[in-house]
A and B are shown apart, each in its own frame.
Chain A
Amino acid sequence: MYTQTEVIKDTTASGSEGELVINMGPQHPATHGVLHLVITLNGETIKKIEPHLGYIHRSIEKMTESLTYRQFTYVTSRMDYLSAHINNLACAMTVEKAMQIEVPERAQVIRVLMNELTRIASHELWIGAMAMDLGAFTPFFYAFREREMITEIMEDSCGARLTMNYMVPGGVMYDIHPDFQKKVKAFVQQFKDKVTEYEDLVTNNVIFQSRTKGVGYLSKEDAISYGCSGPVARASGVSCDIRKIYPYEVYGKVEFDEVLDTAGDSFARYLVRVKEMNQSIRIIEQLIDNIPEGDFQAKTKAVLKPPKGEFYTRVETARGELGVYLVSEGGTTPYRIKYRSPGFSNLSALDHMARGSKIGDLMATMGTLDLVIPDIDR
């Protein structure tokens, strides 16, 4: 039982003279969830950041050990909920790899289309949330208008807006909706029309540029040694797009560029994500009229039993590299599943990036890391 003074003393515990320790989170508007940062300040300058995790730990990895190979994919929608499709795909691909299931061409194309739509939706939300972190509330609504079109496409074809559970071992759960192609084309058109709005409101805005340029610098070496992936690493010049390096599904057959930047600051990370959306649009445009006929799902047994062994697959989510490590004992449930989530490694670089900058810079840095807390905690 603490007395009152003890509690006070505990929370204000500071190392040396002139230091101020503040607890940012678990309830804070900028941490986008339940991240808890213990920040040591000198005036407004950050001396140290210590992320505390565990507020949204649901032990997804342990849960998975009691679920069958058909059941365990759906839980991963709850990890990085903004790239639910891509998480599900990683799980489905692991099972396919273990069982050596040949996925029909049509299913592969549908999977890639859905993945790229998810990526755009995720980046749209991120633009809005990041602008909101920097104090501009309006771009959020404009970004959500476009994102809404994607969620409607998802709703039509997959039956849900956020946690779709559309990728199943062997293909996709249903065939695409008859309106799918029409709606995606409408979205691509809308996106191309409206993307200038973000340029006017955010990219070219002098306040936004001065808030993000040179802020939260991450060098190429640091990006590698902290294990960063995705747009965070690519903004520092690390070529790490899994879609390019280890092409899966039909990514090897479509033309797109890996977006790289060398500046390594928040603005570079912003630009990388915006350009990535354009590349996703490029992929969608190539595939949308060329969906091959055929089955949308391979014939699989009712009960999946992968052979004994260890299997690892990786995919590129909207945030970076997601790895699924599966140990199978030959039974109906996995022996062990380990997810390598992109958010966790990206968060680990936060302390390094934010040291010596102001609290306002922390918002820009954290915003461009694009943290999804359930992905970090699992």
Chain B
Amino acid sequence: MFSLEGITKTIQDWLFSSFSPTVALLIECAIIILLAIALFALLGLVLVLMERKVAAHIQIRLGPNRVGPGGMFQTVADTVKLIMKEGLTPDMADKFLFNLAPFIVMIVAMLLLAPIAFAKNFQIWDINIGVLYVSAVSSLSVIGILMAGWASNNKYSLLGAMRSGAQIVSYELSAGLAILSVVVLTGSLQISDIIESQKDGWWLFKGHIPVIIAFVIFLIAVTAETNRAPFDLAEAESELTAGFHTEYSGMRFAFFFLAEYINIFIVCSIGATLFLGGWMPLHIGNWESFNHLMDYIPSSVWFMGKTFFLIFLIMWFRWTFPRLRVDQLLNLEWKYLLPISLFNILLVTLIAIMGWHF
């Protein structure tokens, strides 16, 4: 059976038997960096293509179908085009911050990869405060966006950045509370522990209605945090042309674009880990033969399947709903999501204390 765990173990054993521990560790780091960058590029290409195809089919169109079979290489061609383009820096812009901003957004997205468990025992860094790390680091990306908006010396960019700031700071709250409800049930912040606790069933099914509510709130909040429609006020094409990245072109624009999709991937994988059991196969109670069959599907496939399902949901939102207004966006958070999630976490705590969950 195919397993990523076996591959990593073979490589590690070989490295540690051939080199001194320090050198082996350094080589491992280099491999991880390479893999992370490769994953980034690959995800960017796949997700952008997926977005365009999903949008096209929802809009009764065909979508890209000229470059490669079924338009498979469309995003590759787009990337080549973006690399060839000149990266303009506007006059009177703060050049240092302007050039720094896309990299900050990218670095934040890269940092978030660390605690994600892609498959069974296939994780870069199984930190014991994994969930806390994710929510802490993900809020950093707003700095990059604010920086981009401020440094562009463009009023549309500035408005977009300010909107984004207000939005991300508010939606952190309900995203955090939704994550917390699973943490309460598990009793651990470590990603591997959370996944382990879902061995006999995913939290979405085990935790009764409160966890389902938490899951819905999580989905809404992360859609807002990643600046996706219907919460794409920071970009708001019809209002602010392109919001905070109006002035960016070429590869620096591509970085923002890429970071958006990587962020979607990361928040969806967090959602899949917390609520849908990460790489854990679907197990139903005492159906031994069924559970056994499910175990034959590799854990990485489970993880990717769940993550891409959530990504599809978020794309589905984007191509269905109109955009909210900036005050309605904050209303939704402070008048609806936050009270509901506060009440919800009480319920979850009650369930956890009384042991009512399965």
Interface residues of A (CB under 8 A from B): 4, 8, 20, 22, 28-30, 44, 131-138, 140-142, 145, 201-202, 205, 207-208, 210-211, 358-363
Closest 3 CB pairs of A and B: A135-B323, A360-B325, A136-B322
With A28-B241, A29-B237 already in contact, the answer to whether A135 and B321 are too (CB < 8 A) is: yes
Query: Could you pull out 17 A-B pairs where Cβ atoms are within 8 angstroms?
Result: A29-B238, A30-B238, A134-B238, A134-B323, A135-B230, A136-B320, A136-B323, A138-B320, A141-B59, A141-B60, A142-B60, A201-B320, A207-B321, A360-B236, A360-B326, A362-B239, A363-B238
Looking at the assembled complex, report how far the CB atom of A345 sits from the nearest CB atom of chain B, in whole angstroms. 24
A-B contact count (CB 8 A): 82
B156 contacts across to A, CB distance below 8 A: 22
* Minimum CB–CB distance for A78 against chain B, Å: 25
Taking a contact as CB atoms closer than 8 A, the residue among B61, B322, B327 that contacts A358 in the complex is B327
Interchain CB contact (< 8 A) of B326 among A20, A44, A136, A141: A44
Interface positions of B from 48 to 68, Cβ below 8 Å from A: 55, 58-61
Give CA–CA (A360, B323) in the complex, Å: 9
Q: Report whether B322 and A8 are in contact in the complex, using a CB–CB cutoff of 8 Å.
A: no
Q: Which of B91, B155, B163, B236 contacts A135 (CB 8 A)?
A: B236
Instruction: Verify if B232 is at the interface (C-beta below 8 Å from A).
Output: yes
The answer to whether A137 and B325 touch (CB under 8 A), given A8-B92, A22-B155, is no
Smallest Cβ distance from B94 to chain A, in angstroms? 14
A211 contacts B325, CB within 8 Å? yes
> Are A358 and B326 in touch, CB under 8 angstroms?
yes
Closest residue to A133 on the B side, CB-wise? Answer: B238
A207 with B241, Cβ < 8 A, contacts A136-B320, A136-B322 known: no
Specify which chain B residues have a CB less than 8 angstroms from the CB of A135 in the assembled complex. Answer: 229-230, 232, 236-238, 321-323
Add 17 more A-B contacts to A4-B91, A28-B241, A29-B238 (CB < 8 A): A22-B155, A30-B238, A135-B236, A136-B322, A138-B319, A141-B61, A201-B320, A207-B322, A207-B323, A210-B325, A211-B323, A211-B324, A211-B328, A358-B326, A358-B327, A360-B325, A360-B326
**How far apart sit A360 and B322, CA to CA, in the bound complex (Å)?**
12
Determine chain B's interface SS by DSSP, over half rule: loop
Asked if B159 is at the interface of the complex by the 8 Å CB criterion, the answer is yes
- Least CB separation from B56: chain A residue: A141
- Taking the closest CB of chain A, its distance from the CB of B215, in whole angstroms, is 20
Q: Which residues 115-167 of B have a CB within 8 angstroms of A?
A: 155-156, 159, 163
A138 to B322, CA, bound (A): 9
Q: A334 CA to B315 CA in the complex, in Å?
A: 57
How long is the Cα–Cα vector from A106 to B97 in the complex, in angstroms?
70
User: Contacts of B240 on A, CB cut-off 8 Å?
Assistant: 359
Interfacial chain B residues near A8, Cβ < 8 Å: 92
Interface, chain B (partner A; CB < 8 A): 55, 58-61, 91-92, 155-156, 159, 163, 229-230, 232-233, 236-241, 319-328
| Most chain A CB within a 10 A radius of its CB, from B58, B233, B325 | B325
Return the chain B residue nearest A361 by Cβ.
B325
A360 CA to B319 CA, complexed, in Å: 19
Contacts of A202 in B (CB 8 A): 322
Which residues from B are CB-within-8-Å of A22?
155-156
Residues of chain B within 8 A (CB-CB) of A136 are 320-323
Q: Interface centre among B92, B233, B320, B328, by most A CB within 10 Å? A: B320
**A-chain residues with CB within 8 Å of residue B163 when the two chains form the complex:** 44
Instruction: State whether B91 touches A131 (Cβ < 8 A).
Output: no
Q: Please measure, in the bound complex, the distance between the C-alpha atom of A131 and the C-alpha atom of B230, giving whole angstroms.
A: 12
Least CB distance from B59 to A in Å reads 4
CB contact between A210 and one of B91, B155, B328 (< 8 Å): that residue: B328
In the docked arrangement, what's the CA distance between A81 and B200, Å? 64
CB contact under 8 A between A358 and B60, given known A4-B91, A30-B239, A136-B320 = no
User: B302: shortest Cβ distance to chain A, in Å?
Assistant: 31
Docked pose: A336 CA to B139 CA in angstroms = 65
The answer to whether A131 and B239 touch (CB under 8 A), given A141-B60, A211-B328, is: no
| Contact A205/B321 with A44-B159, A137-B59, A138-B59 known, Cβ cut-off 8 Å | yes
- Inter-chain CA distance A30–B238, complex, in Å, is 5
Given the known inter-chain contacts A145-B60, A359-B159, please indicate yes or no for A208 contacting B322, CB distance below 8 A: yes
Q: Nearest chain-B residue to A44 (Cβ)?
A: B326
A287 to chain B, nearest CB (A): 31
From residue A307, how far is it (CB to closest CB) to chain B in Å?
50
Note all chain B residues with C-beta closer than 8 A to A205. Answer: 321-322
Q: How far is the CB of A87 from chain B (nearest CB, A)?
A: 27
Q: Report the bound CA distance from A78 to B326 in whole Å.
A: 37
Of the residues B155, B233, B237, B241, contact of A20 by C-beta under 8 Å: B155
Question: Do A358 and B238 form a contact, CB below 8 Å, given A22-B155, A135-B229, A142-B60?
Answer: no
**Cβ contacts under 8 Å, A359 to chain B:** 159, 239-240
The minimal Cβ–Cβ distance linking A3 to chain B, given in whole angstroms, is 12
B60 contact set on A, CB distance < 8 A: 141-142, 145
Residues of A contacting B237 with CB < 8 Å?
29, 135
| A145: B residues at CB distance < 8 A | 60
B323 touches A137 (CB 8 A): no
- Nearest A residue (CB) for B323: A135
In the complex, A44 Cα to B327 Cα: how many Å? 10
Measured between beta carbons, the chain B residues less than 8 angstroms from A142 are 59-60
A-chain residues with CB within 8 Å of residue B230 when the two chains form the complex: 135, 207
A135 to B324, CA, bound (A): 8
| A264 smallest CB distance to B (angstroms) | 19
Which residues of B have CB within 8 Å of A29?
A: 237-238, 241
Checking A28, A30, A131 against B322 with a beta-carbon cut-off of 8 angstroms, the contacting residue is: A131
Write the nearest CB–CB distance from A225 to chain B, whole angstroms: 28
Closest to A362 in B: B239
Task: Give chain A residues whose Cβ lies under 8 Å from the Cβ of B321.
Answer: 135-136, 205, 207
Interface centre among B232, B238, B240 (most CB of A within 10 A): B238
Which residues of chain A come closer than 8 Å to B58, judged between CB atoms?
A: 138
Cα-based distance from A28 to B155 in the complex (angstroms): 14
Q: Is the CB of A137 within 8 A of B239?
A: no
Chain B residues in 8 Å Cβ range of A360: 233, 236, 239, 323, 325-326
